[in-house]
Amino acid sequence: MAKIEQAANVNLVSRISAGTYFKGEIVSPNDLRIDGKFDGSIISEGKVVIGESAEVNARIVCVNADVWGKTKGSFTVKDIMAIKSDCTVEGELRVRRLIVELGASFNGTCKMISEQEYDKAAAEMSSVMEKPRAAAPQNQKKE
């Protein structure tokens, strides 16, 4: 009898493709890959990958992160952040473990955190992102 293997579901990886610009907030239970431009905030219960062609200006909270492109902002990473060769990272890092490859550029601050500190930071960011926004004022003039 043949053994049936399940393939990883690529639909569980969210993606911002090269040539795409997105501004806003992303909350995802899955992995995220950015190859385009992104400005905003991200909370991911998976890995965030900043591709070689990406330009990111964001506040990111995730389990793991790989940075290959250009990024500014802050990262709060529950486990491992890898800064790959030829990438540029500017900002604040709060990570449990950090890998910096030869040739990478990092300008900013880095603090090693515990899992409890990560949980607190993730909860704070979640509560900020989930607050309802005030609706734009409507001109309700009746004549």
The verdict on residue 4 lying in a domain is no
The verdict on residue 132 lying in a domain is no
Short-list 72, 119, 75, CA closest to 97: 75
Beta carbons of 90 and 108 less than 8 angstroms apart: yes
Domain that holds residue 108: 10-126
Point out the least confidently predicted range of 1-15, 28-42, 44-58, 120-134.
1-15
Residue 88: predicted pLDDT? 96
The verdict on residue 136 lying in a domain is no
Ranges assigned E (strand) in the chain: 13-16, 21-28, 31-34, 37-44, 47-50, 55-62, 64-67, 70-83, 88-100, 105-112
The verdict on residue 69 lying in a domain is yes
The verdict on residue 99 lying in a domain is yes
pLDDT in tens, 34-76: 999 999 999 999 999 999 999 999 999 999 999 999 999 999 9
The verdict on residue 113 lying in a domain is yes
Residue 139: predicted pLDDT? 52
Q: Per the structure, how many domains does the chain have?
A: 1
The verdict on residue 41 lying in a domain is yes
Q: Whole-prediction pTM value?
A: 0.81
